[in-house]
């Protein structure tokens, strides 16, 4: 039987990183999106819950 991993809601381990076709990276909580897919395929509701990573750390 597989052991279930207990991940606190809202912690780093519960986040996924999604890159759109233009190469922009977004951080989303897995609970807020139904599956991993390109940013342009997320619903408007899902997009509103993601964060543009460049807005947090700036451009490299």
Tens-digit pLDDT profile for residues 29-47:
988 887 777 767 777 788 8
Identify the pLDDT of residue 3.
44
pLDDT in tens, 9-22: 667 788 888 887 77
**Domain ranges in the chain?**
16-57
Contacts of 28 (CB under 8 A, 6+ apart): 15, 16, 17, 18, 42, 46, 49, 50, 51
């Amino acid at each position: 039987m597989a052991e279930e991993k207990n991940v606190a809601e809202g912690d780093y381990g519960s986040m996924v990183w999604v890159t759109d076709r233009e190469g922009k990276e977004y951080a989303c909580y897995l609970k807020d999106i139904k599956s991993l897919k390109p940013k342009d395929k997320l619903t408007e509701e899902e997009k509103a819950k993601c964060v543009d990573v460049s807005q947090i750390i700036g451009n490299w």
